Amino acid sequence: MRIPTLLFAMVLVTACDYMPDKPVRPRVVRVETAQYARYVNKDFAGMSTADDATNLAFKIAGQVLSVPVVKGDSVARGALLAVLDPRDVELQVEATRSAFMEARSRLERAKRLRDHDAVSQQEYEAAQTLYSQARSTYNNSADLLKDTRLRAPFAGVIERTYVDAYQRVSAGQTILRLVNPVSTTVGFTIPESSLGELTRKTTSFSVRFDNIPRVEFAAVLKDYARTASDASGFPVSLRLPDVDRERYHIIPGMSCTVTMRSVDELPDAVSLPISAIYAPMSGGDYVWVVDSANVVSLRKVHLGEIFDRDRVLVNSGIEPGERVVVAGVYRLNEGEKVRVIK
C-alpha cells in the first residue's frame, strides 16, 4: 500500500514542474497629461488686520482721574475714554485768563489816551502786542483743558488699556489702543523671489479664510514694503473691495490663505504634480513617460519653481500632450508595461 502512494506523490511533483508560469499583470498607475502652465498660483499664509488702529495718549502730563472703559468694550466715535485731573490745568487757565484781562484793559486805556494824543503810537503798538500775546496764551491754555479728556477718534473696540486710575502719566504716553472691529485688509509676507510679481498688471489675488473655507474673496494690492526688517520676507497688504458685510463678518486676526496668480514667465514650461517627480539617490530629477503602448520610459527633466502647494514647473524635458506617471513612480522599471487608470 505504501508504494502506490509514493508513486502518486512523484507523479504530482513532476506535473507541477511542467505547469506554465502565471502571466504577470501590468502594474496599475495613474497618469496626467502634461500641459502648458500659463498661470502660476502661489499660496501664502495671511491674517486679516484692522482697517483703523491707533494708540491714544494725552498731549499733556498729569494724573489719570479715571479710565471708564476696559479691554473688549465697544465705543462710539467721540466716546470718553480717559480723564486727567484738570486742577493743575484749571489753575493755569485762570492765571492766563487774568493776564489776558489785564492786557485787554491796558490796550483799551492806551487807545483812549492815543485818541487824545496822550501816548505815542509806539506805546500803543506795544500794548497791542502784549494783548495779542496774552490772548494767544489764554486760548492755548483753554485748549489744554480740553486735552484732559481723551475721546475716541472713530468707532471701535478697546484692544488694550495700559494705565490705571490715579497713575501719573507723561505727555505722549500710551493710555489705550483702539481698533476698528471691521476688517477689509489682509496682511502677509512674500519672499524676495516673488517680489517682482506683485505689481504686474497680470497678477491677481484672492483670499480664503480658514473659517469661511468655501468662499474665495477677490483682493487688490494695497501697499507693500520695499525693504524687509528680517529674514521672514517683505510685508504686503491687500484690500478686499467687495465683501458682503451683512453675510460675512471679517474681523482682525482671522487666519487665511492668500493666493497670488501670475502669468508664467516661461511660456514653454509645463505643469505637473510634485508626485510625478522621480529623484533617485544618485541625483537628478526624472519622470516616467507612458507611450501609446502603455510602456514607461525614464526621462530627465529640468524643474522650475513649486506652486499651488503640490505642483511644479517643468522647464524642459517634457512636451505638452505627453502622459506622465503621477503616482507610484518609485516602483517602476524601464520598459515596463503598465495599466493606466483615470
Residue entry with cell 517643468: 314
Please give the mean pLDDT across all residues of the chain.
85
Q: Which residues, in sequence order, are bridge partners of residue 157?
A: 74, 179
185-200 pLDDT, tens digit per residue, is 999 999 888 888 888 8
d(CA 180, CA 250): 11
**Percent helix, percent strand, percent coil in the chain, to nearest 5:** 25, 35, 40
Q: What is the DSSP letter of 23?
A: P
Q: How confident is the model at residue 170 (pLDDT cuts 50, 70, 90)?
A: very high
Q: What percent of the chain has pLDDT over 70?
A: 92
Say whether pLDDT at 119 is over 60: yes
CA 177, 180, 185, 191: dihedral to nearest 10 degrees?
10
Question: Which pLDDT score is estimated for 172?
Answer: 92
d(CA 42, CA 48): 18
Sequential DSSP letters for 34-98 = -EE--EEEEEEEEEEE-SSEEEEE-SS-EEEEE----TT-EE-TT-EEEEE--HHHHHHHHHHHH
pLDDT, mean of residues 317-326 = 92
Say whether pLDDT at 36 is over 90: no
Q: How confident is the model at residue 328 (pLDDT cuts 50, 70, 90)?
A: confident
85-108 pLDDT, tens digit per residue, is 988 877 877 888 888 888 888 888
Question: Which pLDDT score is estimated for 46?
Answer: 95
Sequential DSSP letters for 201-259 = TT-EEEEEETTSTT--EEEEEEEE-SS-SSTT-EEEEEE-----TTT----TT-EEEEE
Question: Which pLDDT score is estimated for 131?
Answer: 83
Spell out the alpha helix ranges (H) of 116-218: 121-146
Question: Which pLDDT score is estimated for 216?
Answer: 93
Q: How confident is the model at residue 23 (pLDDT cuts 50, 70, 90)?
A: low
Q: How confident is the model at residue 138 (pLDDT cuts 50, 70, 90)?
A: confident
Q: What is the DSSP letter of 315?
A: E
Which domains does the chain carry? 27-37+267-341 (2.40.420.20), 42-52+180-263 (2.40.30.170), 55-84+149-179 (2.40.50.100), 86-147 (1.10.287.470)
Question: Which pLDDT score is estimated for 22?
Answer: 55
pLDDT, mean of residues 298-322 = 88
Short-list 177, 135, 139, CA closest to 156: 177
pLDDT, mean of residues 29-42 = 87
Instruction: Please return the burial class of 204, using the count of CB atoms within 10 Å of its CB with bins 0-12, 13-18 and 19+.
Output: middle
Spell out the alpha helix ranges (H) of 1-43: 2-17
pLDDT, mean of residues 72-78 = 92
pLDDT, mean of residues 49-72 = 91
Cell of 337: 508595461
Say whether pLDDT at 285 is over 50: yes
227-280 pLDDT, tens digit per residue, is 877 777 899 999 999 888 888 889 888 999 999 998 876 677 888 999 999 999
d(CA 75, CA 69): 9
Residue entry with cell 502784549: 130
